[in-house]
Amino acid sequence: MDHLYFRPKQRSDWGASFQQHFPQQAAAAIAQANRWCEDKPVIWKGFEIDLGQPINWLYNPTGDKEFTWGINRFKHLRSLGTAYACTGDEKYAAKALEHILGWIDTQPCPRDLPAEELTYFQRPGPWRLLEAGLRLRQWIYAYHFFDESDSWNGEVKQRFLQSVKEHAWFLSTYKASIEINHSIMHMIGLLGAGLTFMSWEESEEWRSIAMKRLEECIRVQVLQDGVHSELTPHYHMVSLELFVDCAVMAKKRGLAFSEEYERIVAGMTRFASLMIRQDGSMAPFADSFANQPPDLNAAALYYDRPGLLLEDQLYEQFWTVGPEAIDRLLAAAAKSPEAATSQSQEALSQSTSTASGAGTLLGAHAQERLPFAFPAAGYYGLGDTEQQLIFDAAALGGPHGHADALSFEWCAYGEALFVDPGTYTYMENPWRRYFKSTSAHNTVLVDGQDQTPYLRTQRWGVPEAAVSLIAWRPDQQMICAEHDGYASRGVTHRRALWFLDSGEWVIYDRLTGTGEHTYQHRLHTRLLEWETQRLDTDNGALNDQTRPLEQPACYYAKGSGLANGSDPTSPLACEMLVFGPPELELDVEDSWESVHQMKMQPLKVLQGLLTTENAGAWFITVMKPSLGTQQLQTSEWSVSIGEHGHPVLSLNRDGQLAVFAMPE
């Protein structure tokens, strides 16, 4: 009765199945478990840290609170449990119990502190609500892994179970705000305890509290189009997996969340499936990393939809759903991958059409599902099977947001060419500030200032930049938006973007304002070798509604030498035309991308720079990818002043004239 995932008699069978399905992960878990059994130093962000013997759960030589929080979540019990299930070696059960009892002996529950302190989300100690919830979740797994082993019996088992009850009491008594994703992690531990120990008198109340608050969390935290309100793909993915895992646990006991909960989860799944670059990695807007594809396996198993399967990460779900569910999903994927994908998309589109109002889910990869829109969140996608651009017209999104309004990511022919730089670190230092800054993103920097003032690592100042959608025309592959982050400087930034059937992109930036300002139009690219030259311009009148523009600047640039891509020998290149006022300069400088935490890789920044007095500024960029040969015909493009006194880009091709003007 008191086993939610598997019973002790099933443990060895599950272990054998895990080894059969995931031999590399089983070997890695055993190797990691052996390190713990041999009391070797912990590896953290590439550094070896000796926690002592017995472990000092408060020892932290890093200066980063994330280290203390991390070790007190007890995720390492998963490797010890996996090793025990696979081998039956009692040393793993004994070491897990040693760690848990050592923690219980040295970290008493802080019952005598004010509720305001206990619920403060940045509280540094091991009883922060987030750690209590995640630790309890891992302890529930440990109970399944080690129950009825030689070590886990009698008095020591009762001490463990008493601490489980204490954790559940703590989480049900001290309730923090439901507005951030931490609250999901508080409740998943409480729900796990309530659903596992069904015979306990307190369990019904724990289940009731947890499920009610999770319903509140998903309604408050997730926008109407299915995007988590923090507007950060990484934390959206984390929240989605947690919400799905809670639904999976409830289903095991014959319980269910509301239809609204299920509708929102389906919408979240759709958004997660679209925040994928052509190379399979996740678009790392805000505090995200592009170090691996989005893991939708929890949703794939929950919906029985192999089209969402990420097989390399499927092992993470094994101990939650069991070998039968894993076998069923893998068999369906192997039988007919394309049909499975189509079926998955059809089901999700039916589930999300009400939630998002954005139509159907059209393909297995992001470049096949374009264009797409999440208007409540502010994320939009344009392109075709060869190119993909995700446009950020989103709000800041809270502490995890970056000052990146109107930025974008662009992929072509399977590679990410112009990228968001990622996160690098959460520690307060100059690198944290840089990676969150406007300067680090594909947008326009004014007077060297961030769009929203930076205060510290997860604290923004005021005023906060607000983004407004001006036009969204999916049938024309066009979007236009503006933000007011520079209103205090008297400047408004509006950006329009078009994708042409012939493969070019047009990006039109207009900055209106008065006074002298310096503008930096910054594009961050993995193409590390650039050639630039200023071209002569001859802008005669195009028609009766235009007049010549006084000698605009025009630069041609070509980039190659793809770095950090899947194919370093690729001939993939990018050609660009950059138009601007006569004083525009174009240069190339160094920058950095962080695909993995605390690691950096080189980028180049193609920067348009100009300073104006008593006027606004404008930049018009035309870009097109190529596979070695020149594709962009510079003579076809020109700029003139339009009827509203603003620059207009014209394309004259094969006797046909196309005009690109900023939407008013």
Structure confidence by residue, pLDDT tens digits, 293-345:
788 999 999 999 898 888 889 999 999 999 999 999 999 998 865 444 433 34
Do 589 and 563 form a contact (C-beta atoms < 8 A)? no
**What's the pTM value of the predicted model, to 2 decimals?**
0.89
DSSP state of 465: P
Do 305 and 420 form a contact (C-beta atoms < 8 A)? no
- Give residue 62's pLDDT: 86
User: Taking each helix axis from N to C terminus, what angle separates 154-173 and 129-146, rounded to the nearest 10 degrees?
Assistant: 150
10 Å Cβ neighbour count for 458? 16
Weakest mean pLDDT among 143-147, 204-208, 412-416, 624-628: 624-628
Span 117-135, average pLDDT = 87
Give the confidence band of 606 by pLDDT, cuts at 50, 70, 90: very high
Find the distance separating the first CA and the last CA of the chain, reported in whole Å.
Answer: 65
DSSP state of 84: H
Report H helices in 38-89. Answer: 65-71, 77-87
pLDDT of residue 593 exceeding 70: yes
Q: Could you tell me the two tokens for 583?
A: 């004083």
CA dihedral 378, 383, 388, 389 (to 10 degrees): -40
Non-local CB neighbours of 631 within 8 Å, separated by 6+ positions: 503, 575, 624, 625
- Give residue 356's pLDDT: 30
Q: Tens of pLDDT along 506-518?
A: 999 999 988 899 9
547 vs 42, higher pLDDT: 42
Weakest mean pLDDT among 113-127, 150-164, 221-235, 371-385: 113-127
Angle, CA 602 vertex, CA 598 and CA 607 arms, to 5°: 120
pLDDT of residue 261 exceeding 70: yes
Q: Could you tell me the two tokens for 638?
A: 């020109």
- Give residue 646's pLDDT: 87
Q: Tens of pLDDT along 55-94?
A: 999 998 888 888 899 999 999 999 999 999 999 999 999 9
Task: Give me the residues paired with residue 14 across strands.
Answer: none
Task: Give me the residues paired with residue 626 across strands.
Answer: 573
Query: Would you list the DSSP string of 519-586?
Result: EEEEEEESEEEEEEEEEP------STT-B--S--EEEEEEEEEE-SSS-TT---EEEEEEEE-TT-EE
- Give residue 482's pLDDT: 98
Report CA Rg, the chain: 27
34 vs 458, higher pLDDT: 34
Coil, helix or strand at residue 287: coil
Element (H, E) at 649: strand 647-653
The Cα-based distances of 359 to 225, 352, 620, 646 in angstroms read: 11, 8, 32, 35
Weakest mean pLDDT among 13-27, 60-74, 445-459, 570-584: 60-74
pLDDT of residue 358 exceeding 80: no
Do 532 and 586 form a contact (C-beta atoms < 8 A)? yes
- Give residue 538's pLDDT: 60
Give the confidence band of 614 by pLDDT, cuts at 50, 70, 90: confident
Gap between the Cα atoms of 148 and 85, Å rounded: 12
Do 366 and 276 form a contact (C-beta atoms < 8 A)? yes
- Give residue 286's pLDDT: 95
Q: What percent of the chain has pLDDT over 70?
A: 93
10 Å Cβ neighbour count for 488? 11
Do 581 and 521 form a contact (C-beta atoms < 8 A)? no
- Give residue 350's pLDDT: 42
pLDDT of residue 135 exceeding 90: yes
Whether the bond between 126 and the residue before it is cis, its omega within 30 degrees of 0, is no
Q: Tens of pLDDT along 464-504?
A: 999 999 999 999 999 999 999 999 999 999 999 999 999 99
Gap between the Cα atoms of 294 and 632, Å rounded: 34
Coil, helix or strand at residue 26: helix
